[in-house]
Amino acid sequence: MSSRTRFLVRRVGFYAATLWSAITLNFLIPRLMPGDPASVIVRQLQKQSGQSVPPESVEAIRKLFGNPRANILQQYVDYLNSLAHGDFGLSVSRFPTPVSELLAAGLPWTLVLVGTTTVLAFLLGTALGIASGWRPGSKLDGFLSPLSTFLTAVPYFWVALIALWLFGLVLGWFPLGGGYDPDLYGRPGFFGSVLYYLAMPAATIVFSSFGGWLLGMRNMMITTVSEDYVLLGKAKGLSGARIMFRYAARNAMLPTVTGFALAIGGVLGGALLTEIVFAYPGIGYLLFDAVGKRDYPLMQGVFLMTTLTVLLANLVADSIYVLIDPRTREGGR
Protein backbone atom coordinates (compact mmCIF):
# COMPACT_ATOMS: atom_id res chain seq x y z
CA MET A 1 0.00 0.00 0.00
CA SER A 2 1.44 3.37 -1.03
CA SER A 3 1.98 6.20 1.42
CA ARG A 4 -0.74 8.21 -0.32
CA THR A 5 -3.26 5.39 0.11
CA ARG A 6 -2.31 4.87 3.75
CA PHE A 7 -2.77 8.56 4.44
CA LEU A 8 -6.20 8.60 2.81
CA VAL A 9 -7.28 5.43 4.65
CA ARG A 10 -6.31 7.00 7.99
CA ARG A 11 -8.22 10.15 7.12
CA VAL A 12 -11.32 8.20 6.08
CA GLY A 13 -11.18 6.32 9.39
CA PHE A 14 -10.91 9.61 11.28
CA TYR A 15 -13.90 11.08 9.45
CA ALA A 16 -15.92 7.90 10.01
CA ALA A 17 -15.32 8.20 13.77
CA THR A 18 -16.20 11.90 13.62
CA LEU A 19 -19.41 11.10 11.76
CA TRP A 20 -20.41 8.54 14.39
CA SER A 21 -19.76 11.11 17.14
CA ALA A 22 -21.84 13.70 15.28
CA ILE A 23 -24.72 11.24 14.82
CA THR A 24 -24.63 10.40 18.53
CA LEU A 25 -24.67 14.06 19.55
CA ASN A 26 -27.41 14.68 17.01
CA PHE A 27 -29.44 12.01 18.77
CA LEU A 28 -28.78 13.24 22.31
CA ILE A 29 -29.01 17.05 22.07
CA PRO A 30 -32.70 17.33 21.09
CA ARG A 31 -33.61 14.87 23.84
CA LEU A 32 -31.93 17.09 26.43
CA MET A 33 -34.17 20.00 25.46
CA PRO A 34 -37.42 20.54 27.38
CA GLY A 35 -40.57 19.17 25.79
CA ASP A 36 -40.98 16.54 23.07
CA PRO A 37 -42.63 16.28 19.63
CA ALA A 38 -45.68 14.49 20.97
CA SER A 39 -46.39 17.31 23.43
CA VAL A 40 -46.25 19.82 20.59
CA ILE A 41 -48.75 17.82 18.53
CA VAL A 42 -51.04 17.42 21.55
CA ARG A 43 -51.01 21.16 22.23
CA GLN A 44 -51.78 21.89 18.59
CA LEU A 45 -54.73 19.48 18.64
CA GLN A 46 -56.04 20.95 21.88
CA LYS A 47 -55.81 24.48 20.48
CA GLN A 48 -57.66 23.49 17.31
CA SER A 49 -60.42 21.48 18.97
CA GLY A 50 -60.65 23.34 22.28
CA GLN A 51 -60.84 19.98 24.08
CA SER A 52 -58.33 17.73 25.83
CA VAL A 53 -56.81 14.90 23.81
CA PRO A 54 -57.74 11.38 25.00
CA PRO A 55 -54.88 9.41 26.66
CA GLU A 56 -55.00 6.71 23.97
CA SER A 57 -54.48 9.35 21.30
CA VAL A 58 -51.53 10.78 23.20
CA GLU A 59 -50.03 7.29 23.44
CA ALA A 60 -50.51 6.75 19.70
CA ILE A 61 -48.77 10.05 18.96
CA ARG A 62 -45.85 9.09 21.21
CA LYS A 63 -45.46 5.79 19.36
CA LEU A 64 -45.38 7.67 16.06
CA PHE A 65 -42.83 10.34 17.05
CA GLY A 66 -41.01 8.53 19.83
CA ASN A 67 -41.29 8.83 23.58
CA PRO A 68 -38.29 10.70 25.06
CA ARG A 69 -38.91 8.95 28.38
CA ALA A 70 -38.48 5.50 26.83
CA ASN A 71 -35.27 3.45 27.18
CA ILE A 72 -32.50 5.66 25.79
CA LEU A 73 -30.50 2.75 24.38
CA GLN A 74 -33.51 1.42 22.49
CA GLN A 75 -34.20 4.91 21.15
CA TYR A 76 -30.58 5.11 19.94
CA VAL A 77 -30.77 1.73 18.20
CA ASP A 78 -34.05 2.68 16.55
CA TYR A 79 -32.54 6.00 15.46
CA LEU A 80 -29.50 4.34 13.85
CA ASN A 81 -31.75 1.81 12.13
CA SER A 82 -33.90 4.59 10.70
CA LEU A 83 -30.84 6.47 9.42
CA ALA A 84 -29.50 3.32 7.80
CA HIS A 85 -32.75 3.11 5.80
CA GLY A 86 -32.71 6.82 4.92
CA ASP A 87 -35.67 7.53 7.21
CA PHE A 88 -35.38 10.86 9.04
CA GLY A 89 -38.90 10.62 10.41
CA LEU A 90 -41.94 12.85 9.96
CA SER A 91 -41.91 16.58 10.52
CA VAL A 92 -43.90 17.68 13.56
CA SER A 93 -44.56 21.23 12.41
CA ARG A 94 -45.49 20.14 8.86
CA PHE A 95 -47.08 16.80 9.63
CA PRO A 96 -47.31 14.42 7.83
CA THR A 97 -44.52 15.55 5.44
CA PRO A 98 -41.35 13.40 5.75
CA VAL A 99 -38.22 15.24 6.85
CA SER A 100 -36.35 13.87 3.84
CA GLU A 101 -38.72 15.73 1.50
CA LEU A 102 -38.22 19.01 3.35
CA LEU A 103 -34.44 18.57 3.26
CA ALA A 104 -34.52 17.69 -0.42
CA ALA A 105 -36.47 20.88 -1.09
CA GLY A 106 -34.30 23.19 1.06
CA LEU A 107 -30.81 21.73 0.58
CA PRO A 108 -30.32 22.81 -3.08
CA TRP A 109 -31.02 26.44 -2.15
CA THR A 110 -28.42 26.36 0.63
CA LEU A 111 -25.86 24.53 -1.53
CA VAL A 112 -26.22 27.14 -4.27
CA LEU A 113 -25.88 29.98 -1.75
CA VAL A 114 -22.94 28.45 0.14
CA GLY A 115 -21.19 27.13 -2.97
CA THR A 116 -21.42 30.44 -4.81
CA THR A 117 -20.33 32.59 -1.89
CA THR A 118 -17.49 30.28 -0.80
CA VAL A 119 -15.92 30.17 -4.27
CA LEU A 120 -16.34 33.92 -4.88
CA ALA A 121 -14.95 34.86 -1.46
CA PHE A 122 -12.03 32.44 -1.87
CA LEU A 123 -11.09 33.72 -5.33
CA LEU A 124 -11.49 37.39 -4.41
CA GLY A 125 -9.68 37.14 -1.08
CA THR A 126 -6.86 34.99 -2.45
CA ALA A 127 -6.23 37.26 -5.44
CA LEU A 128 -6.15 40.39 -3.28
CA GLY A 129 -4.01 38.60 -0.68
CA ILE A 130 -1.43 37.68 -3.34
CA ALA A 131 -1.26 41.26 -4.56
CA SER A 132 -1.06 42.64 -1.01
CA GLY A 133 1.56 40.19 0.25
CA TRP A 134 3.79 40.43 -2.81
CA ARG A 135 4.65 44.04 -1.92
CA PRO A 136 4.08 44.49 1.84
CA GLY A 137 4.01 48.09 2.94
CA SER A 138 2.74 49.41 -0.40
CA LYS A 139 -0.30 51.68 -0.70
CA LEU A 140 -2.43 48.72 -1.76
CA ASP A 141 -1.29 46.70 1.25
CA GLY A 142 -1.85 49.66 3.55
CA PHE A 143 -5.47 49.83 2.39
CA LEU A 144 -6.29 46.12 2.20
CA SER A 145 -4.75 44.99 5.52
CA PRO A 146 -6.93 47.16 7.79
CA LEU A 147 -9.94 46.41 5.59
CA SER A 148 -9.46 42.65 5.92
CA THR A 149 -9.00 42.93 9.69
CA PHE A 150 -12.25 44.87 9.97
CA LEU A 151 -14.20 42.48 7.74
CA THR A 152 -13.13 39.38 9.67
CA ALA A 153 -14.68 40.90 12.81
CA VAL A 154 -18.04 41.73 11.22
CA PRO A 155 -20.79 39.13 11.88
CA TYR A 156 -22.72 37.78 8.88
CA PHE A 157 -26.14 38.58 10.29
CA TRP A 158 -25.16 42.19 11.08
CA VAL A 159 -24.12 42.80 7.48
CA ALA A 160 -27.31 41.06 6.32
CA LEU A 161 -29.50 43.31 8.47
CA ILE A 162 -27.75 46.47 7.25
CA ALA A 163 -28.02 45.35 3.61
CA LEU A 164 -31.67 44.43 4.05
CA TRP A 165 -32.45 47.84 5.52
CA LEU A 166 -30.42 49.88 3.01
CA PHE A 167 -30.82 48.07 -0.31
CA GLY A 168 -34.15 46.42 0.35
CA LEU A 169 -36.17 48.85 2.44
CA VAL A 170 -34.67 52.30 1.78
CA LEU A 171 -33.49 52.02 -1.83
CA GLY A 172 -35.81 49.20 -2.89
CA TRP A 173 -33.22 47.66 -5.22
CA PHE A 174 -33.69 44.10 -3.97
CA PRO A 175 -36.58 42.11 -2.44
CA LEU A 176 -36.89 41.92 1.32
CA GLY A 177 -37.08 38.13 1.45
CA GLY A 178 -37.72 34.87 -0.32
CA GLY A 179 -35.85 32.87 -2.94
CA TYR A 180 -37.82 33.68 -6.11
CA ASP A 181 -40.84 35.51 -7.47
CA PRO A 182 -43.88 33.22 -7.01
CA ASP A 183 -45.53 34.73 -10.08
CA LEU A 184 -42.65 33.50 -12.28
CA TYR A 185 -42.55 29.93 -10.95
CA GLY A 186 -42.35 27.52 -13.89
CA ARG A 187 -42.11 30.37 -16.41
CA PRO A 188 -39.14 31.49 -18.58
CA GLY A 189 -38.11 34.27 -16.19
CA PHE A 190 -37.88 31.98 -13.16
CA PHE A 191 -34.09 31.47 -13.33
CA GLY A 192 -33.48 35.20 -13.53
CA SER A 193 -35.78 35.67 -10.56
CA VAL A 194 -33.73 33.15 -8.56
CA LEU A 195 -30.51 35.04 -9.33
CA TYR A 196 -32.15 38.34 -8.43
CA TYR A 197 -33.28 37.06 -5.03
CA LEU A 198 -29.90 35.36 -4.49
CA ALA A 199 -27.82 38.49 -5.16
CA MET A 200 -28.16 40.29 -1.82
CA PRO A 201 -27.80 37.25 0.51
CA ALA A 202 -24.76 36.09 -1.48
CA ALA A 203 -23.18 39.56 -1.53
CA THR A 204 -23.49 39.92 2.25
CA ILE A 205 -21.75 36.57 2.85
CA VAL A 206 -18.96 37.34 0.36
CA PHE A 207 -18.45 40.78 1.90
CA SER A 208 -18.16 39.28 5.39
CA SER A 209 -15.94 36.30 4.50
CA PHE A 210 -13.43 37.34 1.84
CA GLY A 211 -11.41 39.39 4.37
CA GLY A 212 -10.30 36.20 6.12
CA TRP A 213 -8.96 34.76 2.87
CA LEU A 214 -7.22 38.05 2.08
CA LEU A 215 -5.51 38.28 5.46
CA GLY A 216 -4.43 34.62 5.48
CA MET A 217 -3.05 34.70 1.94
CA ARG A 218 -1.23 37.98 2.56
CA ASN A 219 0.55 36.58 5.62
CA MET A 220 1.55 33.41 3.76
CA MET A 221 2.83 35.44 0.81
CA ILE A 222 5.00 37.60 3.09
CA THR A 223 6.55 34.42 4.49
CA THR A 224 7.01 32.82 1.09
CA VAL A 225 8.63 35.74 -0.76
CA SER A 226 11.67 35.48 1.53
CA GLU A 227 12.26 31.79 0.71
CA ASP A 228 15.42 30.75 -1.13
CA TYR A 229 13.60 29.48 -4.23
CA VAL A 230 11.95 32.88 -4.71
CA LEU A 231 15.31 34.65 -4.36
CA LEU A 232 16.79 32.17 -6.83
CA GLY A 233 14.05 32.96 -9.34
CA LYS A 234 14.81 36.66 -9.03
CA ALA A 235 18.53 35.98 -9.44
CA LYS A 236 17.84 34.01 -12.64
CA GLY A 237 16.08 37.05 -14.08
CA LEU A 238 12.60 35.53 -14.27
CA SER A 239 9.70 37.90 -14.72
CA GLY A 240 7.98 39.24 -11.61
CA ALA A 241 4.62 37.78 -12.62
CA ARG A 242 6.10 34.31 -13.06
CA ILE A 243 7.89 34.44 -9.72
CA MET A 244 4.76 35.74 -7.98
CA PHE A 245 2.38 33.09 -9.34
CA ARG A 246 4.58 30.06 -10.14
CA TYR A 247 6.88 30.26 -7.12
CA ALA A 248 5.46 32.38 -4.30
CA ALA A 249 1.68 32.14 -4.68
CA ARG A 250 1.69 28.43 -5.62
CA ASN A 251 3.43 27.46 -2.37
CA ALA A 252 1.63 30.02 -0.24
CA MET A 253 -1.72 28.56 -1.30
CA LEU A 254 -1.06 25.08 0.14
CA PRO A 255 -2.34 25.87 3.67
CA THR A 256 -5.24 27.72 2.06
CA VAL A 257 -6.54 24.50 0.53
CA THR A 258 -7.07 23.00 3.97
CA GLY A 259 -8.47 26.31 5.20
CA PHE A 260 -10.93 26.27 2.30
CA ALA A 261 -12.61 23.13 3.63
CA LEU A 262 -12.52 24.31 7.22
CA ALA A 263 -14.06 27.62 6.20
CA ILE A 264 -17.04 25.86 4.66
CA GLY A 265 -18.30 25.15 8.15
CA GLY A 266 -18.06 28.83 9.09
CA VAL A 267 -19.57 29.99 5.82
CA LEU A 268 -22.36 27.43 6.19
CA GLY A 269 -23.12 28.70 9.70
CA GLY A 270 -23.16 32.26 8.42
CA ALA A 271 -25.38 31.23 5.52
CA LEU A 272 -27.90 29.71 7.93
CA LEU A 273 -28.16 33.03 9.81
CA THR A 274 -28.35 34.94 6.53
CA GLU A 275 -31.18 32.68 5.35
CA ILE A 276 -33.11 33.51 8.50
CA VAL A 277 -32.65 37.26 7.97
CA PHE A 278 -33.69 37.10 4.30
CA ALA A 279 -36.29 34.33 4.77
CA TYR A 280 -34.33 32.43 2.11
CA PRO A 281 -35.88 28.97 1.49
CA GLY A 282 -32.83 26.90 2.53
CA ILE A 283 -32.13 24.57 5.42
CA GLY A 284 -31.22 27.52 7.66
CA TYR A 285 -34.77 28.80 7.52
CA LEU A 286 -36.00 25.23 8.05
CA LEU A 287 -33.86 24.99 11.18
CA PHE A 288 -35.15 28.31 12.51
CA ASP A 289 -38.73 27.14 12.02
CA ALA A 290 -37.99 23.73 13.53
CA VAL A 291 -36.41 25.14 16.71
CA GLY A 292 -39.35 27.47 17.31
CA LYS A 293 -41.85 24.63 16.93
CA ARG A 294 -39.83 21.92 18.74
CA ASP A 295 -39.71 19.89 15.54
CA TYR A 296 -37.04 17.42 16.70
CA PRO A 297 -36.99 15.19 13.60
CA LEU A 298 -36.47 18.20 11.34
CA MET A 299 -33.81 19.65 13.65
CA GLN A 300 -31.93 16.36 13.63
CA GLY A 301 -32.15 16.13 9.87
CA VAL A 302 -30.75 19.65 9.37
CA PHE A 303 -27.93 19.11 11.87
CA LEU A 304 -26.99 15.82 10.25
CA MET A 305 -26.97 17.21 6.71
CA THR A 306 -24.84 20.16 7.85
CA THR A 307 -22.35 17.82 9.52
CA LEU A 308 -22.15 15.54 6.48
CA THR A 309 -21.52 18.53 4.20
CA VAL A 310 -18.63 19.85 6.32
CA LEU A 311 -17.05 16.40 6.76
CA LEU A 312 -17.28 15.66 3.04
CA ALA A 313 -15.70 19.01 2.18
CA ASN A 314 -12.81 18.35 4.58
CA LEU A 315 -12.27 14.86 3.17
CA VAL A 316 -12.13 16.22 -0.38
CA ALA A 317 -9.68 18.93 0.74
CA ASP A 318 -7.42 16.35 2.40
CA SER A 319 -7.45 14.25 -0.76
CA ILE A 320 -6.54 17.24 -2.93
CA TYR A 321 -3.79 18.27 -0.50
CA VAL A 322 -2.11 14.87 -0.88
CA LEU A 323 -2.13 15.25 -4.66
CA ILE A 324 -0.73 18.80 -4.84
CA ASP A 325 1.83 18.63 -2.00
CA PRO A 326 4.52 15.94 -2.49
CA ARG A 327 5.84 16.55 1.04
CA THR A 328 2.73 14.85 2.44
CA ARG A 329 3.54 11.66 0.57
CA GLU A 330 7.23 11.85 1.49
CA GLY A 331 6.26 12.29 5.13
CA GLY A 332 4.15 9.13 4.87
CA ARG A 333 7.23 7.15 3.81
Distance between CA atoms of 302 and 21, rounded to whole angstroms? 16
Whether residue 71 lies inside any domain: the answer is yes
pLDDT tens for each residue of 32-61: 766 666 666 677 667 766 777 677 766 666
SS3 of residue 320 by DSSP: helix
69 and 106 together in one domain: no
- pLDDT at position 35, please? 60
Q: Would you state the pLDDT for residue 81?
A: 83
Do residues 211 and 299 share a domain?
yes
Q: Are residues 73 and 140 in the same domain?
A: no
Those residues whose C-beta lies under 8 Å from the C-beta of residue 204, and which sit 6 or more positions away, are: 156, 159, 160, 163, 274
Lowest mean pLDDT among 175-184, 260-269, 320-329: 320-329
* Residue 133 · residue 218 · CB < 8 Å: yes
Domain end, chosen from 29, 59, 84, is at 84
- Looking at the 3D structure of the chain, how many domains does it have? 2
123 compared with 219, residue with greater pLDDT: 123
CATH number at residue 271: 1.10.3720.10
- The mean pLDDT value for 183-192 works out to 78
Inside any domain, residue 131: yes
With contact defined as beta carbons under 8 Å apart, do 151 and 208 qualify? Answer: yes
